Amino acid sequence: MTAETEERPGRVAYQGAPGAFSHEACLDLRPWDEAVGHETFQGAIDAVLSGDCHCALIPVENSTVGVVEPAATLVREAGLTPISDAWRPIRLALLGVPDARLSDVKTAESHPVALQQCTKALGEMKIVAVEVFDTGGAAAAVAEAGDVTRAAVAPARAAEVYGLSVLRNDLQDFSDNRTRFVLFTVPQA
């Protein structure tokens, strides 16, 4: 990152709800910026193109599943300029309502890419994966439902955000699971 982008506070767009891996990455990598969540990758990209946010932090590659789609294609098609990137370790946690036990859980919901990173672990526990738009959104939905049979696959910090319990840490199938987040902005004229 250039000194100019590091020192100038602004708004950074990301895909997801508070507690999502992208939100976590924004807080850790751009603590001086306001992190602005969007339901879709396109929404985060549009926020940069419209000038509502000065940059977007988008996951484009994962060491377990490869290219993160549709994110990688959308940023390429939008013509955004990469400013910097960072590989971050991704540690998946299984989150449930406070009264839940691991043996209660029947389904785990999360972003499709996160679910692909823990298919073996979920299969061994006989937990059915349910795709939703986001890891943080999954945690919010599980908290709201209050159902001990539902869990979310999300960062452990999302448990704090939504009042959930961590039923199992390190759910990812590979210990070196990492995601490459790229900071994008509009091309300079």
- Catalytic (active site) residue 181: yes
Exactly one of 21, 64, 133, 179 is catalytic; name it: 179
What token pair was written down for 63?
């060491």
CA atoms of 109 and 21, how far apart (whole Å): 14
- Catalytic (active site) residue 174: no
Query: 109 exposed, middle or buried (CB, 10 Å; 0-12, 13-18, 19+)?
Result: buried
Nearest CA among 162, 120, 117 for reference residue 18: 162
What is the residue-wise DSSP string for 34-83?
EEEEESSHHHHHHHHHTTSSSEEEEEEEETTTEE-TTHHHHHHHHTPEEE
Exactly one of 21, 133, 181, 184 is catalytic; name it: 181
What token pair was written down for 62?
């994962």
**Per 3-state DSSP, what percentage of the chain is helix, strand, and coil (rounded to 5)?**
35, 30, 35
Amino acid, res. 115: L
Rounded to 10 degrees, the C-alpha dihedral 72/24/165/105 comes to: 0
Q: What is the largest CA-CA distance in the chain?
A: 57
Give the residue numbers marked as catalytic. Answer: 179, 181
